[in-house]
Structure 1
Amino acid sequence: MKTTIRFAGLPVLFVLLLSACSKKDDENTTPKSTLVTVTAKNIDGDAADKGHFTLFSLADNKVIPNSDSATTKWDIGFRSTNIIINGGVSGPGAATAQVVSGIFNDLLVAPESGYVVDGTTLAIVDWYTYNRTTHIISPVPGKYIVMRTATGKYAKVEVFSYYKDAPTTPDGNSVARNYNFRYQLQANGTRDFK
């Protein structure tokens, strides 16, 4: 009788073990993609020339008040043609960045290395050209920013116009210091942009 009871409980134990193993196999070990693609328009780059950076949160897609400059609420800042990141001498965040060459949509994985913080030289330089004859600022085609945000998430940012309402051909009447850019933010912490 004792032998029968032991063998009767064996199938139940076997089913429980199999179901426990199958749950582990079904779990997704890769973080789910939380890729956000946004176009930001007419972000004031100190058009009134007040000497302050306009701070911007990529995660929230909004301008952050300068009173929050000593926080990690912002990722990137704009003043005239200068772009800062929330890291290094510019802020308390963990932001690092680099300007890369290529086609924005073709970058599917952020580089592992090459990132720098703002120091005596800003991390984001050489993103534009200046025409001395027309006095027009133009983003360099095929140049864009890859960065880790203030909170350590990866993003890529491409400025496509420095003028209000992003005119196709800016001229002397175009209102400058208005950043228009598109960006992708991978909120799950991976370097994956696909």
Structure 2
Amino acid sequence: MRIATLTIGMAMIVCSCTKSNDNPGLEDGISIIVTDLPGDTTANMSEGGSNTFKTLYFNLATGKKADITDATKTSLNWDLAFTGPYNSEVYVNYGGYAYNPGYGGAGKGAVIQVDKPYNEVTTAPSDAEFDNATLTKIGWEVGSSGGWFFYSLDNHIAVPIKNRTFVLRTASGKYAKLELLNIYKGNPPVVTDLYWPAPYLTFRFFLQEDGSKNIKTN
């Protein structure tokens, strides 16, 4: 599936990962909640467009930003790559897709969209389903699938899609689920200011470390 390039018309490192009660609406005692993870806050759309944003890599096993260079992009040291305008487009680490940052590597990543609330997604699909998945990038919702936010050309504000979960096969072949929540600082419930600070990524995930497809979190 090809997803159109997002154009966000607004100007513009520390990761807060928590299992505390700082996010009571998200907390389930198991998932990792990442709040205000800075993307490339020095880039902007007015100077060269989306290509000016440096890719942010993230490792689900460590729950931290991964230090990846051009020489290590094909490694298994990252699971998610936040790319494109305001780091809003997300790839999983898969070596078999030419436009994937991990192209040519051993990454087994795949992603399947599930239109259910995060806590209701309890089991990962079969490997056959992952192998046949056509979603190559999670970004701007332009059709019926593949997006984690709506974007209006009228107000140039990204609005996260509620009750949409992405089930992942990670670079190393384990299973996880992911809910992408915001690109705006502070994870505001509503954004009306075109110049709200971004990208500051908020998302939550659960990685099943034992290799099973059990991704139940409540």
TM-score (norm 1): 0.73
Unaligned runs of 5+ in 1: 1-34
Percent of paired sites with the same residue: 28
Q: What amino acid maps onto 1:111 in structure 2? A: P
SS of residue in 2 equivalent to 1:114: helix
How far 1:116 sits from its partner (Å)?
5.7
Aligned AA for 1:156? Answer: K
Query: What is the match of residue 77 of structure 1?
Result: 81
Q: Deviations 1:80-136 (Å, cap 9, x if unpaired)?
A: 3211111033212111112220111011111225336999x7243322100222211
Q: Is 1:193 aligned to residue 187 of structure 2?
A: no
| Correspondence for 2:201 among 179, 184, 189 | 179
Q: Are the counterparts in 1 of residues 89 and 137 from structure 2 also a CA contact under 8 Å?
A: no
The one-letter amino acid of 1:159's match is L
Report how far residue 45 of structure 1 moved: 3.5
Aligned to 1:31: none
- 1:39-93 Cα distance to aligned partner (Å, 9 max, x none): 0112234333344210000110111122232210100011232111110332121
Paired residue for 1:21? none
Match of 2:34 among 40, 49, 58: 40
CA gap 1:102/1:78 in 2 versus in 1, 3 angstroms:
same
Output one character per residue of 1:143-177: Cα deviation in whole Å (capped at 9) or x when no partner. Answer: 12110111111000001111112112222231122
Corresponding residue of 1:107: 121
CA–CA separation in structure 2 for the residues paired with 1:174 and 1:117: 38
1:157 matched to 2:178: yes
Gaps (5+ residues) in structure 2? 1-28, 44-51, 139-145
| Distance in 2 of aligned mates of 1:65 and 1:53 | 11
Under a length normalisation based on structure 2, what TM-score does the superposition of the two structures give? 0.66
C-alpha contact (below 8 Å) 1:40/1:181 kept by paired residues: yes
Which ranges of 4 or more aligned residues in structure 1 deviate by more than 4 Å?
Answer: 116-119
Aligned amino acid, residue 137 of structure 1: A
1:96 corresponds, among 110, 122, 125, to 110
Greater Rg over alpha carbons, structure: 1
The two structures, once aligned, show a CA RMSD in angstroms of: 2.3
Provide the C-alpha distance between the structure 2 equivalents of 1:62 and 1:96, rounded to a whole number of angstroms: 20
Higher helix fraction: Structure 1 or Structure 2? 1
In structure 2, do the counterparts of structure 1 residues 38 and 100 end up closer, same or farther at CA, with 3 Å as the change threshold?
same
Change (3 A) 1:184 1:149: same
Q: Is the 8 A contact 1:164 1:179 kept in 2?
A: yes
